[in-house]
Amino acid sequence: MMRVEGALRRVAAVTLSAVALCAASAAHAQGAGTSNESERAKMLFGSGAQAYASGQFSAAIQAFSEANRILPRPAIAYSLAQAHRRQYFLDKNKAHLELAISGFRAYIEQVPDGGRRADAAQALSELEPILARMGETSPARGEPKEPAKEPARLMITTQPSGAVFTIDGKDRKQAPYAVEVAAGKHRVHASLEGYFDEEREVLAVDRTLVPIPIELRERPARLRVTGPNGCDIFVDGRPVGTIPQSEPLELASGSHLVVVTKNGYKAFSQDIDFRRNEPKTVSVALEPTGQRIVARSLLISGGALVLAGGVFSVLALNRQSAALDIPDAQRQGNVSPEDARDYNDAKDARDRWRTGALLAFSVGGAALATGLMFYLFDRPTVLPPRARPEDRRTRPSSPSSPSSPSSPSPAMEPMEMSMVPLVGPSFGGAALTGRF
């Protein structure tokens, strides 16, 4: 249990040292105007911390030493001493033991109180007896001997971590990793599932650890939407194309709101999760809206009424023609009483057919106009997707608080229209009402 606690303390020491380094280097950059050197020291320290965490203590020593040379800080010195300490227990090189003791003592001298003094004192209580048993004098009375010079190294780190990389097509390793190389130019190739491969040329310097941070670009997910031709596709509120698509849509991984709309149909709306480099196909079957069904019914019935009005008009003209034939015959003096009755019946039939035609044309025209308006203004209403539990937790509790720009806008109220036929003894028509 004590060994586990000690290991945890050592890992915490490196983490806290990294935080202290960032703060100290920022202050140094502002005071001395050496921002470039400060950034290089932070990069070296970060590479050393990753090497330390992966058990590459020799590479960590190399990185911490260079960082401490550029930007001397107690936090870096403490981490360097820790790396020497761990390396000593691996290779039993006395020089690492001496440098570890010297580094911990220097840290205690530089930090009067607080910090990692307790951990440094505990490390000294562990290391000094080991050196004493070797019969050597205390490092405080003389400078310790430097270990052998380190080779050229490339410290490969990737964002995200875990990528596989090669140096000049060889030495397949998983980042983060420090690779010993010959001084000079080298080609680094990094790859990770779901990301684009990255390749770059780097320069290794003799007896120096060179940090090589590589940021991998995410491969987008691909979305293909199938459905009725002419549908509009929206992703997260932005128009991105129509059906049929010429090629799949490329989307960043994560959750996206996919909406498919077409005039006269209920909108399709779905929140879909995408993973990196994942192909997905969404098949959409849209249902006609109630307004579109009413519009079609009005157009069909209106057309039928207009057609009936035409038929009634023909019949009215026919009866009128028959009625006109009788006065022509009367002028010639050969009209019987039966012909007079036929004349009156034809006039009455003509008036009835004419009234029916006018009524059919009026109601049919109103139905056609209303149906056409319903048809043309049947825009889809897009409702926001049902909120997820995590979305409800982050939603403001106050109803009066302003909404976030990223939150879905409220659905637009649908248009409502209605028509009431009006029929009287001598007229016909319709009253049209609507709400927008």
CATH of the domain at 237: 2.60.40.1120
Q: Among residues 108, 141, 174, which one ends one of the domains?
A: 141
CA distance 73 to 431: 87
Together in a domain, 129 and 188: no
pLDDT of residue 430: 52
Q: Which of 231-235, 240-244, 369-373, 432-436 has the lowest mean pLDDT?
A: 432-436
Residue 158 lies in a domain: yes
Together in a domain, 372 and 249: no
Together in a domain, 158 and 55: no
Together in a domain, 184 and 84: no
Q: Among residues 141, 172, 191, which one ends one of the domains?
A: 141
Q: Among residues 163, 193, 215, which one ends one of the domains?
A: 215
Residue 249 pLDDT > 70: yes
Tokens read off for 194:
């779901």
Residue 90 lies in a domain: yes
Residue 391 lies in a domain: no
Q: Which domain holds residue 348?
A: 290-381+417-435
Tell me the pLDDT tens digit for each residue of 93-113. Answer: 888 989 999 999 999 998 888
Residue 409 lies in a domain: no
Together in a domain, 195 and 326: no
CA distance 104 to 120: 5
Together in a domain, 19 and 130: yes
Together in a domain, 209 and 163: yes
Together in a domain, 67 and 180: no
Tell me the pLDDT tens digit for each residue of 306-329. Answer: 888 888 888 878 877 776 766 665
DSSP H helical segments within 206-289, as ranges? none
> In sequence order, which residues have a C-beta less than 8 Å from that of residue 220 and are 6 or more positions away?
250, 251, 252, 253, 276, 277
Helix (H, G, I), strand (E, B) or coil at 55: coil
Residue 2 pLDDT > 80: no
Tell me the pLDDT tens digit for each residue of 21-48. Answer: 444 444 343 444 457 888 888 888 988 8
Residue 394 lies in a domain: no
Q: CA torsion angle for 152, 158, 163, 168 (degrees, to 10)? A: -40
Report which secondary-structure segment, H or E, holds 224. strand 221-226
Together in a domain, 70 and 177: no
Phi, psi of 154 (to 5 degrees): -115, 120
CA nearest to 103, candidates 135, 158, 151, 60: 60
Residue 392 lies in a domain: no
Name the domain count of the chain.
4
Together in a domain, 52 and 10: yes
Q: Whose structure tokens read 């000049």?
A: 168
Residue 75 lies in a domain: yes
Together in a domain, 429 and 351: yes
> In sequence order, which residues have a C-beta less than 8 Å from that of residue 83 and are 6 or more positions away?
48, 52, 57, 60, 61, 64
Residue 103 lies in a domain: yes
pTM: 0.55
Tell me the pLDDT tens digit for each residue of 324-375. Answer: 766 665 555 565 667 667 777 777 888 888 888 888 888 888 888 887 877 7
Together in a domain, 38 and 129: yes
> In sequence order, which residues have a C-beta less than 8 Å from that of residue 157 and are 6 or more positions away?
46, 47, 50, 175, 176, 211, 212, 213, 214
pLDDT of residue 392: 41
